[in-house]
Amino acid sequence: MSQEKIKVLFVCLGNICRSPSAEGVFLHYIEHEGLAERFEIDSAGTSAHHEGERADSRMRAHAARRGYDLLSLSRPLRYEDFFHYDYIIGMDEANRRTLLERAPTEEAAGKISILTDWAPNPLRDHVPDPYYGGSEGFELVLDLIEYCCPYLVGKMIKG
């Protein structure tokens, strides 16, 4: 008897820096832990501005140095996502607000969180957008995601 997969959607503004990084790091972590078959993971953006594009080249380079491949293509958040995914995880408060505004039902709104909500004592209360900054911003994104992933997986597996 197969167990139903835990479906997780990571969301940021353009789906080219933070959410594809969260998707890539999360996938790497669950594969390393032997849990990949228990999850379905994707990422999306609240904006369709970068639809079809790969993750930002700077983000891909920083991720690659840590052993992560960011392979997804940017896509916008869809209405159906609110029904398909069990968890919809934004990267900052602006993402959460947008997600809550678009949530079609109270049940869908209850699926929404910010990544850093899942971990005790994170370095920041959100994952800041590195797009207009330097390399330290991309490194911080990865640091925060790496810190949060074990807590996220642990809480999702335990229910």
- Is pLDDT of 3 > 80? no
Across the range 125-147, mean pLDDT stands at 96
The residue behind tokens 């949530």 is: 103
CATH architecture, range 6-158: 3-Layer(aba) Sandwich (3.40)
Kindly indicate the confidence band of residue 72, based on its pLDDT and cuts at 50, 70 and 90: very high
Q: What is the pTM of this model?
A: 0.96
- Is pLDDT of 135 > 70? yes
- Is pLDDT of 103 > 70? yes
Give the 3-state secondary structure percentages of the chain, helix then strand then coil, rounded to 5: 45, 15, 40
The reported pLDDT for the residue numbered 1 is 44
Q: Catalytic residue numbers?
A: 12, 18, 129
- Is pLDDT of 19 > 70? yes
